Amino acid sequence: MPRDDRDGATGDAPLPHDGLTAFLARAHLAARNGHGAECAVPPGAARQFGLDALTLNMLAHDGHLELLWCDPDTGLGPDLDTLQYTLGDGPTLEAAQHDHPVIEPDLPATDPARWPLFLPAAARTPLRAVTATPLRLGAATIGVLTGYRTTPDPLTTAQLHGLDHLGRTLLLLLYTELTTPASTRGPGTGLRLYRAEIHQATGFLANRLGIPPGQALYLLRAHAATHDQPLPHLARAVLTRRLPPDTFKPQ
């Protein structure tokens, strides 16, 4: 049966086009009414678009991407986003830096020169297809919505249009996060910093080694990539003193 024609009542199967439209309308209304991400985009949203994971990143003032929301909350999405953050390479970064959508329906067939660091690392994961869409506020890109699949099938036109509408919904939440003081935000947007420990470890290292935060982050990322260690695990090892700061002193 074609993917678009499956019954939306069958668990996590993608909704038919009319069901997807209703899902997006409810999500947009919830966001406009000030509800958080957990209400506007409930768990299981990725499956409604034929995806295995969705992530929302905000483009920070220093050019780094901050992971603020993902579905599911753990697993493939945040793992692949952290991988890109560690390596400084990948589809989400390309979408943010070049301000254009990235669609790769068959990742193993992608030109190795496109993401020379990300592709070999991603080949060791279940990832087989990716789409990354810049979220624009006026002329400025302020975030990226990225979808991941474990099968190399292209998304349908309806699913791609649906992702575009979902991006606009998440843009409302992102705009609220950026423009509303935390003390007056009410119940909150439901967005959170997934990499708080990495930032804490960066600040700790910068202080202990007497170096700029940017250099401290570079040392953390380089150590994680060299030793094939997840960056959040490395950050926790630094914060719990299991890994002394001298480990990162430039030779």
Q: Is the peptide bond before 212 cis (omega within 30 degrees of 0)?
A: no
Percent of the chain with pLDDT over 90: 32
What's residue 35's pLDDT? 59
Dump pLDDT digits (tens) for 73-121: 899 999 999 999 999 999 999 999 999 999 999 999 999 999 999 999 9
What's residue 131's pLDDT? 96
Q: What is the mean pLDDT of residues 214-243?
A: 86
Q: What is each CA distance from 212 to 59, 178, 203, 238, in whole angstroms? A: 21, 25, 9, 17
15 against 227, higher pLDDT = 227
What's residue 5's pLDDT? 34
Closest CA to 140 of 44, 50, 43, 63: 63
Q: What is each CA distance from 53 to 2, 193, 247, 249, in whole angstroms? A: 21, 18, 35, 37
* Residue that is written with structure tokens 């068959």 in the block: 106
What is the spatial distance between Cα 34 and Cα 15, in angstroms, rounded to a whole number? 25
Strands, DSSP E only, in the chain? 53-59, 65-71, 102-104, 129-137, 140-149
- The letter for the amino acid at 29 is L
Q: What is the mean pLDDT of residues 158-175?
A: 82
Domains and CATH numbers, the chain: 3-184 (3.30.450.40), 196-248 (1.10.10)
What is the spatial distance between Cα 75 and Cα 116, in angstroms, rounded to a whole number? 23
Residue 104: φ, ψ to 5°: -125, 95
* 104 contacts 92 by C-beta, under 8 angstroms: no
What's residue 1's pLDDT? 34
Dump pLDDT digits (tens) for 44-72: 889 988 999 999 998 877 778 888 888 99
